[in-house]
Amino acid sequence: MDFSERSAGAVHCARSLACHFGSELTLLHVLMPPQCEFGAVDVAGSLLAELCRDRAQQATLELGSFMAPALDSLKVHRVVLEGDPSTTIVDYAHREHTSLIVMPTHGYGPFRRYILGSNTAKVLHDADCPVWTGTHLSETPAAVAAPFHHVMCAVDLGPQSAKALAWAMHFSREFDARLTLFHVTACDPQLRSSAGDALNNLRSQVGATTAELDVESGEASRQICAAAQRLHADVLVIGRGSAAGVYGRLRTNAYAIIRESPCPVVSV
């Protein structure tokens, strides 16, 4: 988090989830080293050390008071670290065995759906745990209840599909939400039929017997986001590799899905 409105929305979202699951919540702020942030500067070592101390103290004070009343009922860790933001976030998540990273995308104003911040992209690529992102996190209401009524899981039938569906299934059951298993294929009746069979097998394999199946044809990111809008999905789950981005057709389209989705996206 960086104390922005987008970060506040991410904290509201994380708070709702932490309240529901009884989880610990970590607010992590990463300071860029001055020499990286401002480039090479001719500053005496003592002055640079003092600047680092001042920035760290200020960040610690801001983080300590950030949304304190709203988070009073939770066990909250407030951590300030220094380093490259994406690398530091991922390393901390690995070290602390984090279950979920919540962070906003980097969009602003009317262009927010067309921009994905480099730090978000790197975290999505490198993190082992699921990553919850969304262009609309700044609009998340400051409420305890998490209104998840419909979960949509988009799979490409690659290696991560079962893991993504399992996560979506458990999440939907936790909130007694409707679950739709979605796949995009080429415009070929035979492919649509075989994809439907594969989805049915995947549903049986994972045990998501109540998941509704939906197969569409066309461009993957466009069809997935349109379906999320049409189905009024509250969260969209997609699969990805732990160190190789998103598999199959979703690998190419993952960032577009995250940017353009009408609801938060969880990359598993």
pLDDT tens-digit map of 170-190: 999 999 999 999 999 977 777
Q: What is the pLDDT of residue 54?
A: 80
Give yes or no on whether 5-139 and 150-267 have one common fold: yes
**243-260 mean pLDDT:** 64
Whole-number Å distance between alpha carbons of 174 and 151: 11
Q: Is the pLDDT of residue 142 over 80?
A: no
> Cβ(106)–Cβ(115) under 8 Å?
yes
Whole-number Å distance between alpha carbons of 253 and 68: 38
Strand partners, 178: 150
Q: Is the pLDDT of residue 143 over 70?
A: no
Helices (H), 66-188: 85-95, 118-126, 161-174
Which comes out higher in pLDDT, residue 242 or 136? 136
Nearest Cα neighbor of 132 from 222, 248, 5, 18 is: 18
Q: What is the pLDDT of residue 125?
A: 86
Distances (CA, A) of 248 to 151, 206, 252: 22, 20, 7
pTM of the full predicted structure?
0.85
How is the chain split into domains, by residue range? 5-139, 150-267
Nearest Cα neighbor of 131 from 171, 90, 179 is: 90
Whole-number Å distance between alpha carbons of 184 and 186: 7
Residues in the chain: 268
CATH architecture for the domain at 150-267:
3-Layer(aba) Sandwich (3.40)
Which comes out higher in pLDDT, residue 9 or 98? 98
Distances (CA, A) of 128 to 26, 95, 228: 17, 11, 25
Buried b (16+ CB within 10 A) or exposed e, 19-33: beeeeebbbbbbbee
Work out the pLDDT band at 248, boundaries 50, 70, 90: very low
Q: Is the pLDDT of residue 249 over 50?
A: no
| Residues 6+ positions from 138 with CB-CB distance below 8 Å | 5, 6, 8, 9, 104
> Cβ(42)–Cβ(90) under 8 Å?
no
**201-227 mean pLDDT:** 95
State which fold the 5-139 domain adopts.
Rossmann fold (3.40.50)
Residue 48 CB neighbour total at 10 angstroms: 14
Q: Is the pLDDT of residue 18 over 80?
A: yes
